A and B are shown apart, each in its own frame.
Chain A
Amino acid sequence: MGILTVQNVNKSFGGLKALHNVNLDIEEGKIHAIIGPNGAGKSTLLNCFVGKLTPDTGTVMFDGHSLLGIKPHQINQLGVSRVFQTPEIFSELTVWENTLIPCFAKRDGAFTLNALSRVSDNKDMAEKAEQMLVDVDLIDKKDMLASSMSRGDKRRLEMAMCLSQKPKLLLLDEPTAGMARADTESTIELLKSIQKKLKITMAIIEHDMSVVFSLAQKISVLAQGTVIVEDVPEKIKGHPKVKEAYLGEAQV
């Protein structure tokens, strides 16, 4: 049994069957990649993990809790963090405030009205936030407005915000989409070092095969809403079913 187990999940939108009897098992401490052609249902599956969508049937269990029917913030409090395809950050706040918020959220997850203390008086929070910015190499940009950063930096910031919560499971939705080669490589290095240092379980949805094969310890291939193969990277590479799924897409 892994940390996240998905059993017989079905989801359809109107007549379209987006997910069809999906079974998935993500082992603790591993980097698990979910790949598949466009429209295979990868993002739908991820949305089912974080409470954005509720599957029609089936179960999603995380660390002994069902993730179905509870709100996104409750799922996060169980230890699931998510990096989005387009970075979801607080664009009108500075980079510094962006990193402070998850620090405060960890403490103030249940509402506390600390309206009369000063942000700058919370030294422990500041230390945490600073350490995180150093980790993702953004400390020079801490006074910048988040919206004025490059896309790669935004993604790094978002990752830092997720990591500061020390999640048990980190979900990454195409973490290198739209990044330059150098940024992609630095992101891969960052994820690898995080995995080594913090032993966080990660589930990655990715199109870029070089990223997948350099990161993943296990790969599930999704096509037309079902998992067609699940194996270690070496075996996925030459698998006939995988080739068929991708070539099939190419012919269309």
Chain B
Amino acid sequence: MKTISKADMRTLFFVAIIALFAPLILNPFPTESGWAQFNAGYPDLMQRFAIYGILAIGFNILFGLTGYLSFGHAAFLGVGSYSAVWMFKLLSMNIIPALILSVIVAGLFSLLIGFISLRRSGIYFSILTLAFAQMSFALAYSVLTPLTNGETGLQITLNDPRIFAAENISGNLPVTSLFGLEMRDTWTMQLGAWDFQFNIGYYICAIFLLLAFYISIRIFRSPFGMMLRAIKTNQTRLNFTGINTRPYTLAAFVISGMYAGLAGGLMASMDPLAGAERMQWTASGEIVLMTILGGTGTLLGPVMGAGFIKYFENIFSKINDTVLHGWFSWMPDGLENVIVWILHLFTGKGWHLTLGIMFMMIVIFLPGGLMEGISRIGKWWKHRNAKNNNTSHTSSTPAE
């Protein structure tokens, strides 16, 4: 039996191709050129694209489908990270047990928070989740120090028990791996002036991203997904149709919490440390931004939003004054200084300003996010083609 429709299969295939060739696609500029700083094809950033993609996909199941705006999703991310690091400390550096535990713990944690928060809807629900997340952050930062190592963050050390790992004789900190495949292993392909980096960790993240995307497609097309969309549009009718909405919203909340847990676990698998700041409300806000920016309630939107924001965070923030002066050095001195002074506000440390302006523009002009932009371009293209065909058709048969 076919599990997903042809159109969805095409979307999934498209994402798979992009993910597979990301190290090439994201590195369009030669390594030595001045544009190289716009290259995003290095392992660290690509891993983050995939991980935040998973996070946004999960968040979209709750916010996009069900219409419940959680403002505390970073808590599940943090819980996932802590669980994963504990697995690295106690069992071994294999990422599988770490990921399993992080998904389970995040699931249980979201069951608890969801059970309480989902008694309310709308803004009250958002505030409740925000309160829980900030509570978790504060706890991780102070009271739960034995579990979370407080403000230093939880790290692996040489003295950890790691009962399933072979004895460490090298004296170096062990690295995370999947049955011997080390996450940090990178194969660099030199092609002319280009350096392309293929990293094990990134491909592991990409596989999980595809899996997460596939499950999200299944949920979108299932009767369960339809119920969630019904909850978003009209809870009264659903109640008067004999449905108790609570179990449905709770299930959506837990599923999306587990997605966040997986993302947190992957984050710790790529770099085995976990800090409390991962749970802070700014982190939760970032997830909301990603989803809205990409397109709430669409399949592909959240992944694009995640990529967009992470790209800005990592690339735009690197354009400092020195770089700007380099670009505009051909101008007369006075003009150069003025231009650099203006652009200074928007680049480097000021990248938040650029992001904020773009976010405003998108929300005002494209309420459906980047996905709406793409579909508008698609429509315009179709329309134009149809028009062209029509004119050519009529011109060929002028006699009628």
Residues of A whose CB lies within 8 Å of any CB of B are 50, 71-73, 76-77, 81-82, 88-93, 97, 100-102, 104-106, 108-109, 111, 113-122, 158, 161, 165
Contact = CB atoms under 8 A, between A and B. Distances in A.
Contacts of A105: 238, 241-243
Contacts of A113: 224, 251
A101 B239 contact: no
Contacts of B234: 88-91
B62 to A, nearest CB: 14
A111 B240 contact: no
B222 A114 contact: yes
B237 interface: yes
Interface in B195-238: 218-219, 221-227, 229-230, 232-234, 236-238
Given A90-B234, A165-B241, 10 more contacts: A73-B244, A88-B234, A90-B230, A97-B229, A101-B241, A108-B227, A111-B244, A111-B248, A115-B255, A118-B218
B159 interface: no
Given A88-B234, A89-B234, A102 B229 contact: no
B111 to A, nearest CB: 14
Given A89-B234, A90-B233, A117 B241 contact: no
Contacts, number: 104
Contact of B247 (A81, A93, A111): A111
Contacts of A115: 218-219, 222, 224-225, 251, 255
B241 A76 contact: yes
B391 interface: no
Nearest to A81: B240
Contacts of B251: 111, 113, 115
> Chain B: interface secondary structure?
helix
B190 interface: no
Contacts of A81: 240
B3 interface: yes
A101 B244 contact: no
Given A88-B234, A93-B233, A111-B247, A119 B223 contact: yes
B223 A117 contact: yes
Contacts of B255: 115
22 contacts: A71-B244, A73-B240, A76-B239, A77-B242, A89-B234, A90-B230, A90-B233, A92-B233, A93-B230, A101-B227, A104-B227, A108-B243, A109-B242, A111-B251, A116-B219, A116-B222, A117-B222, A118-B218, A119-B221, A120-B5, A161-B237, A165-B241
Contacts of B4: 118
Given A104-B226, A115-B224, A88 B236 contact: yes
A122 to B, nearest CB: 7
The 10 closest A-B pairs by CB, nearest first: A111-B247, A76-B242, A115-B224, A92-B233, A72-B239, A88-B237, A90-B233, A105-B241, A77-B242, A109-B242
Given A76-B242, A88-B240, A101 B3 contact: no
A90 B233 CA distance: 5
Contacts of B242: 73, 76-77, 105-106, 109, 165
B227 A161 contact: no
A60 B152 CA distance: 63
Interface in B100-121: none
A120 B1 CA distance: 12
A147 to B, nearest CB: 9
B237 to A, nearest CB: 4
A89 B226 CA distance: 14
Nearest to A116: B218
A100 B243 contact: no
A156 to B, nearest CB: 15
Contacts of A92: 229, 232-233
A13 to B, nearest CB: 20
Q: Name the residue in B1, B223, B229 with the highest tally of chain A Cβ atoms < 10 Å from its Cβ.
A: B223
Given A91-B233, A101-B226, A108-B227, A50 B219 contact: no
Contacts of A158: 237
Contacts of A121: 1
A210 B218 CA distance: 50
A102 B241 contact: yes
A28 to B, nearest CB: 21
Contacts of A77: 242
B2 to A, nearest CB: 8
A50 B4 CA distance: 39
Nearest to A79: B242
B219 A161 contact: no
